Amino acid sequence: MTDTVHTFTDDALGTLDAVALAADLRAGRRGHREVLEAAINRVRQANSRLDAVQAECFDRARRAAPGTGDFAGVPAVIKDNTDVAGLPTCHGSAAFVPRPARRSSGPAAQFLAQGFALLGKSTLPEFGLTASTEYVDRPPTRNPWNTEHSAGASSGGSAALVAAGAVPIAHANDGGGSIRIPAAVNGLVGLKPTRCRLLDQPGVRQLPVHLVAEGVLTRTVRDTAHYLAAAERFRPNPDLPPIGLVEGPGDRRLRIGIVRHDILGRAVHPETEAVLDSAARTLAAAGHDLSETRLAVDPGFAEDFKTYWALFAVVMTASFTTTHPTSFRPWKLDPFTRGLARKVLRDPRAVPPAIRRLRTGTALYDAHFTDVDALLSPVLSHPAPRLGEHAPDQPFERLFDKLIDYVGFTPFNNVGGGPAIAVPHTLMSGNLPGSVQLCAPRGHERVLLELAYQMEQASPFPTIAPQP
């Protein structure tokens, strides 16, 4: 029997998305205090079953004055790899002694400027380096649609809380799929913006290849669209075309390429392909021109990305050892992080040529949109695995191979810098939500949001709980 967890009930949150809840709060139809207490109760209830909260700050939220901004008073959480003044940041790792951050990072400031009522920090796997929020020293974060399965990663805690109805929106970030992967397996909307669209974590833009983008996880397209518009107003990037507020489907007939095979040219799981086919039919019925295509990527791309991925473990370990000399204990790192570091240290000469080739990824990505306006693909190569399949305490090479088999589509956008969105679509076996990925040229988030609105209207997203 499938064990599903949700907190939707007839309280002050109801089944509202963030936009509707913010509108009710502004109009006085709902009170800030009752919304806050309802959300605190929901987070507690969800976390008791899902283990999705790294640190809570309920009393701090109660003491705080109501915020200002487009989402004033809307309860939310921030992923625990992002500094928030006064709260600890542990990056999903037992290697950190929890100590409050002195100041908020740029992404946290951009997020909190929208007026959210912050309830805490959400879980992630150690340093966000793997695709399932699982640990060696504590319970995993569970998927609310089916608690025997992974909630994805690295924004797994944020996704689980939003999908379960505890909060309508949550902060997330994405360095290889970490917004889109948990969005896909939890039936959510997850947009990875164009590189540098939003503020980045400290030091990210100084890395040899800039992979990470900030964003949110939501249950509706409009919540993602409204958040992106508000965040853009907070700090627009003058080097990118502005998005503005996207409020519904576009009216242009687009050329969309269907990508069925992953970066290595491999076919996907039959259920995953069935979801892709259904989404393609939905877009074709809306009048778009669809054609089959493939990712024109050299097979060596995967090896280069693996090398750079492994380098992250070395860089972060070294950085935290320097910046947190009294509160970071590298001997407590989990086996997967240590395995990644060993991979680099065994062959450090592989790093410079891998970086050099990955830096050509932007031009390679751009070339895919010569004849199409967008790409449609799976998010992942197969449905969410059962918990334990991607646990970090198994032999490193075995887990690394599993992750490459699973995450076959998302990293290309991180290397290329282009936007991509995970859109829920239909249900698969085991009560697991289906999802597809839409990609567009750099700077063209509007195209993705318009297509996502179109899919949402034509084929309403699966719901975890009966809607009134």
Active-site residue set? 79, 154, 178
Provide the 3-class DSSP secondary structure of residue 53: strand
Measured CA to CA, the distance from residue 37 to residue 46 in angstroms comes to 14
Q: How many CA atoms lie within 13 A of 27 on its CB side?
A: 7
Measured CA to CA, the distance from residue 344 to residue 461 in angstroms comes to 42
Helix axes 396-406, 300-323, angle to 10 degrees: 120
Assigned token pair, 269 = 């799981």
Q: Cα–chain-centroid distance for residue 445?
A: 16
Residues contacting 208, CB < 8 A, separation 6+? 308, 355, 358, 359
Q: For tokens 């493939």, what's the residue?
A: 294
Measured CA to CA, the distance from residue 24 to residue 45 in angstroms comes to 24
Assigned token pair, 60 = 């701090």
CB count within 10 Å of CB 351 equals 17
Cβ contact 390:399 at 8 Å:
yes
